[in-house]
């Protein structure tokens, strides 16, 4: 059975069914690798919203940034203000760029690459080798981004992947909210990632959720 399908039985609009499969063999395999590594964090969740500037985030996403701020380091150590919370959040600034558009820059930054060195030690491979189960959920499906994803992300396939494409939308940068099967696109991506996170609750996890929502005039 596929992890994602659309059911048109009782609904002309269609209903997207998401059921992330728990792979017990994969889970056990990665747990064996955990014993030989000491990562900085047991779980890593990356939320990438293209293309929201820092100024626009401060202006429009006040409650979201306030939530992340709770887990940022304070003077004297991590989470001094919230010592009971076992989470860490941080922001970094992009002082350099490899390409003229956003989506192809963040993988390179994560992978520790620079303009002179194009190594293949991609972040997904690193996490796998250190005992993590990995997940990629994104809505980048037009030609240019598919090619860039293949070049900079896909050398090492993720354990679970979900690429959400709207077959009726040719231009990904639009000024209306994107909806499929009765929900906003982002809800499907969040549902998939949430299921992955819960089903592998006893494993180390790395999940990368990438959305193009920031290109909308609606934000």
pLDDT of residue 92: 61
Count CA atoms closer than 13 A to 184's CA, side-chain side: 11
Neighbours of 95 (CB within 10 A): 5
Looking at residue 192, its pLDDT comes to 98
Q: What would the pLDDT profile of 120-136 be if each residue is shown by its tens digit?
A: 556 778 889 899 999 99
- Reference 135, options 55, 199, 218, 50; nearest CA is 199
Distance CA 12, CA 22 (A): 30
Two tokens, residue 154: 């896909």
Q: Would the pTM of this model clear 0.85, i.e. be above it?
A: no
Task: Render pLDDT for 157-168 as a digit per residue (tens, 0 to 9).
Answer: 889 999 887 666
DSSP string, 108-151: HHHTT--SS------HHHHHHHTTEEEEEEE---SHHHHHHHHH
Pairing status of strand 204-211 against strand 43-49: parallel
In DSSP terms, 209 is beta-bridged to 47, 137
pLDDT recorded at residue 56 = 78
Question: Of the candidates 130, 189, 190, which has an alpha carbon nearest to the alpha carbon of residue 163?
Answer: 189
Contact in structure between 52 and 61 (CB atoms under 8 Å): yes
Question: What is the sign, positive or negative, of the torsion defined by CA atoms of 35, 37, 41, 45?
Answer: negative
Mean pLDDT score, 20-39 = 91
The tokens describing 27, both together, are 């889970």
pLDDT of amino acid 105: 64
Residue 78 clears pLDDT 60, i.e. is over it:
no
Contact call for residues 144 and 217 (beta carbons, < 8 A):
no
Q: Identify any residues that bridge with 136 across adjacent strands, giving them in sequence order.
A: 161, 208
The pLDDT value recorded for residue 98 is 63
Q: Do the beta carbons of residue 164 and residue 138 sit within 8 Å? A: yes
* pLDDT at 193 (0 to 100): 97
Q: Residue 110's pLDDT is what?
A: 60
């Amino acid at each position: 059975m596929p992890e994602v399908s659309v059911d048109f039985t009782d609904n002309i609009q269609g209903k997207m069914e998401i059921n992330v499969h728990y792979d017990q063999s994969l889970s056990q395999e990665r747990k064996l690798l955990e014993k030989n590594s000491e990562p900085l964090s047991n779980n890593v969740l990356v939320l990438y919203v293209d293309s929201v500037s820092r100024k626009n985030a401060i202006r429009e996403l006040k409650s979201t940034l306030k939530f992340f701020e709770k887990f940022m380091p304070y003077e004297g150590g991590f989470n001094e203000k919230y010592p009971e919370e076992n989470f860490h959040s941080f922001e970094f600034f992009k002082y350099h760029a490899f390409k003229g558009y956003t989506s192809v820059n963040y993988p390179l930054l994560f992978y520790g690459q620079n303009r002179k060195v194009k190594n293949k030690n991609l972040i997904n491979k690193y996490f796998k080798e250190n005992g993590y189960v990995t997940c990629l959920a994104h809505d980048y499906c037009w030609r240019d981004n598919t090619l860039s994803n293949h070049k900079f992300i896909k050398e090492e396939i993720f354990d679970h992947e979900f690429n959400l494409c709207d077959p009726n939308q040719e231009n990904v940068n639009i000024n209306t909210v994107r909806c499929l099967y009765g929900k906003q696109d982002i809800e499907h991506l969040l549902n998939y990632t949430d299921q992955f996170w819960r089903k592998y609750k006893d494993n180390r996890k790395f999940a990368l959720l990438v959305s193009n929502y920031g290109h909308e005039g609606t934000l």
